[in-house]
Amino acid sequence: MLGIVTCEPQSGAVCFEAKLEQVWQAIVLSRCARSFEMLISEFHCENFGKLEQKIKHIPWELYLSQEGELKTNATCEKSRLYHKGAVAERIKNNVNFGGKLNVKFKDDVCSIWLDLCGEPLYKRGERWVEDAPLQESLAASILLYADFARYEKLIDPMAGSGVFSLEAAKWCSNSVKLERDFDFMKMPAFREAAFNNFLQKAASPFAGKNIEILCSDKSEKAIKTIKHNAKDYLNNISISKMDFFSIEPAQNALLVINPPYGKRMAKEKNLCKEIAKKIEKDFSKCSAVILCPPWENMGENYLSLQIYNGGLKIHLKSYNVL
């Protein structure tokens, strides 16, 4: 879609080569990525003298803003320069520009990356949250994993803050709305006119998909939160106060369920097993993905994938997901 052809998956990341304009567009359209970083320089380095020498020869004026503070984060692994605080300090003392740099030392090789986003990308903008909120990027990844766009309906019955419904509605929107600013807008090479032209013409990856989005929760407070968060998409999302176990049977739908777990699970004993019974009784011709604790066994009809939510290890149970 953006003309980015060569991508190389790595542990926790995807590396690719692209023009700057393509990267800006990918950042705006991406709903699953946490951040985008651009490699500025990479070199072998064993001491602070060489580090400072290399830093001084990088043309920072091509990448960083002449205004603002420089923020530097360093990591060191199996290298002679092992003190990440000292590495970050050397960078800050020798770079008189504003921006955010991630400096990574591994096996005595230093790579310097420019953060193009600023705040993590799961921060889309203002959002009210309920207990144990799910990050937007994780919700979007789960929807993509379940191939949500091939269903007639998306049922989000324990919606909480409505993140699944909202991500689906945004993905299917016919236009792209800029929800926040990004650090790449401060780069000297940023072309505002070209970027605005892209925003006017851009469509979401699943634009035009006619998916009925049914969003519900049994909590009145959650319903108010959902209506606030989805205020720009109320024509795309049907919101109702309802208990999951009262929902009518359906076909060709995808259920995305984020029930209470952790300390909240103590109030809802055997909840996951009851959810499984409801799915198999009323939604046997549908697909479902459920987030639940690792110790919950929902039965042989559910495949399990280990993921992390806010540092908490959980399982994504899938039912009829191909």
Question: In this predicted structure, what is the pLDDT of residue 262?
Answer: 57
How much is the pLDDT for 49? 96
Kindly state whether residues 227 and 314 are assigned to the same domain. Answer: yes
pLDDT for the residue numbered 151: 97
Range of the domain at 250: 136-177+204-319
- Residue numbers of the chain with a pLDDT score lower than 50: 264-266
Co-location of 66 and 166 in the same domain: no
Domain assignment of residue 128, yes or no:
no
Note the pTM of the prediction, 2 decimals: 0.91
Q: Give me the pLDDT at residue 131, please.
A: 81
> What total number of domains does the chain contain?
2
Asked whether residue 146 falls in the same domain as residue 109, the answer is no
The CATH number given to whatever domain includes residue 65 is: 3.30.2130.30
Residue 212 shares a structural domain with residue 106 = no
Answer yes or no: do 109 and 242 share one domain: no
Whether residue 309 sits in one domain with residue 213: yes
**CATH classification at residue 267:** 3.40.50.150
> Is residue 270 included in any domain, yes or no?
yes
195 is a domain residue: no
Does some domain include residue 192?
no
Judgement on whether residues 168 and 246 belong to the same structural domain of the protein: yes
> Is the residue at 90 inside a domain?
yes
Residues 232 and 315 in one domain: yes
SS3 assignment for the chain? CCCCCCEEEECCEEEECCCHHHHHHHHHHCCCCCCCEEEEEEEECCCHHHHHHHHHCCCHHHCCECCCCEEEEEEEECCCCCCHHHHHHHHHHHCCCEEEEEEEEECCEEEEEEECCCCCCCCCCCCCCCCCCCCHHHHHHHHHHCCHHHCCEEEECCCCCCHHHHHHHHHCCCCCCCCCCCHHHHCCCCCHHHHHHHHHHCCCCCCCCCCEEEEEECCHHHHHHHHHHCHHHCCCEEEEECCHHHCCCCCCEEEEECCCCHHHHHHCCCHHHHHHHHHHHHCCCCEEEEEECCCCCCCCCCEEEEEEECCEEEEEEEECCC
Q: Are residues 161 and 255 in the same domain?
A: yes
In a shared domain, residues 62 and 166: no
107 and 70 co-located in one domain: yes
Domain-embedded: residue 190: no
Residues 170 and 98 in one domain: no
